[in-house]
Amino acid sequence: MKKLRLEDSEIRAIKEIATKVFGEKCRVFIFGSRTNLELKGGDIDIFIEVPEIKNVTSKKVEFLVELKEQIGEQKIDLIVATPDCQKPICLEAREKGVEI
């Protein structure tokens, strides 16, 4: 896996909480500035691909609350979409992001 500007414990927490909240079939990508090892700082851009969207707002809140409890206060951008999403942000996350 390509190296990310995240601690191993942060990567593990993101993946574990995503699986718990969104299910075993979800795919999790980190994209944006945290995939560039030469940059500093920046928010954590997370794209979670789920087979179907159900109760997405409450699940996003649950995910973000649990994640902040695990890794501390950080700026996190979270996108949840299905595999058929063709919005530019979905395409960018899949093409340029790192699946964890």
pLDDT digits over 36-93, tens only? 888 887 899 999 999 998 899 999 999 999 999 999 999 999 999 999 999 999 999 9
Counted domains in the chain: 1
Residue 85 lies in a domain: yes
**Contact status, residue 39 vs residue 32, Cβ threshold 8 Å:** no
Residue 74 lies in a domain: yes
pTM: 0.93
Residue 9 lies in a domain: no
Residue 33 lies in a domain: yes
Residue 19 lies in a domain: no
pLDDT of residue 37: 85
Residue 61 lies in a domain: yes
**Contact status, residue 76 vs residue 54, Cβ threshold 8 Å:** no
Q: Grade residue 100 by pLDDT with cuts at 50, 70 and 90.
A: very high
Residue 76 lies in a domain: yes
Q: What's 80's DSSP letter? A: E
Inter-residue long-range contacts of 24-28, CB under 8 Å, 24+ positions, other chains counted: 25/50, 25/51, 26/50, 26/51, 27/99, 28/99, 28/100
pLDDT of residue 87: 98
Dump strand ranges (E) for the chain: 27-31, 44-49, 76-81, 98-99
Residue 4 lies in a domain: no
pLDDT of residue 1: 59
Residue 88's CATH number: 3.30.460
- What is the arithmetic mean of pLDDT over 28-36? 94
Instruction: Print the domain residue range for 61.
Output: 24-99
